Amino acid sequence: WRLQGGVDAAFIQDLMELRLAIEPAAALLAARRAETPARESVMALYAEMARAAEVEDDRAAYVEADLAFHAGILTATGNQFFVSLAPLISSVLKASFTLSTVNRAAIRQSLPNHRAVAEAIARGDADGAAQAMSEHLTRASDLYRQAGL
């Protein structure tokens, strides 16, 4: 589909608009509705991202962990429609993460944002989770702009 033609500024803009419409709401619902095992799963997915970030020259492991984290939040909502979006979101995020995780510094810079989202969900802080996700996505948009996209 669209990924076959490459990633350009229009693709990134459309992607970020989609993410801003869906992911803060998903984080809010996950924090509000998730049972303890789902909250623990989100924290475990964040921990896997942090571990992957420390591995030299293995950006692919970090990208996969990041994808799993975002899919885990969609799943933690308990909403069948958010859950069904996970494969679509993951496929487009994979292309964008390849651009936004160009080096270890970019990866490390994203970890505190992800941690804030995970911790807010774990605490059941719905508004905090939505805000943390919005801030994370704003920072991601800034990275794309810095990369010329």
The mean pLDDT value for 86-95 works out to: 83
pLDDT at residue 126 is higher than 90 = yes
Positive or negative torsion for Cα 72, 74, 76, 81: negative
Neighbours of 39 (CB within 10 A): 19
pLDDT in tens, 65-74: 999 999 999 9
Q: Give CA separation, 51 vs 42, 69, 70, 83, 144, in Å.
A: 14, 13, 16, 25, 24
pLDDT of residue 3: 47
> Which of the pair, 7 or 81, is modelled with greater confidence?
81
Contact 137, 16 (CB under 8 A): yes
pLDDT in tens, 11-51: 888 888 999 999 999 999 999 999 999 999 999 999 999 99
pLDDT of residue 99: 60
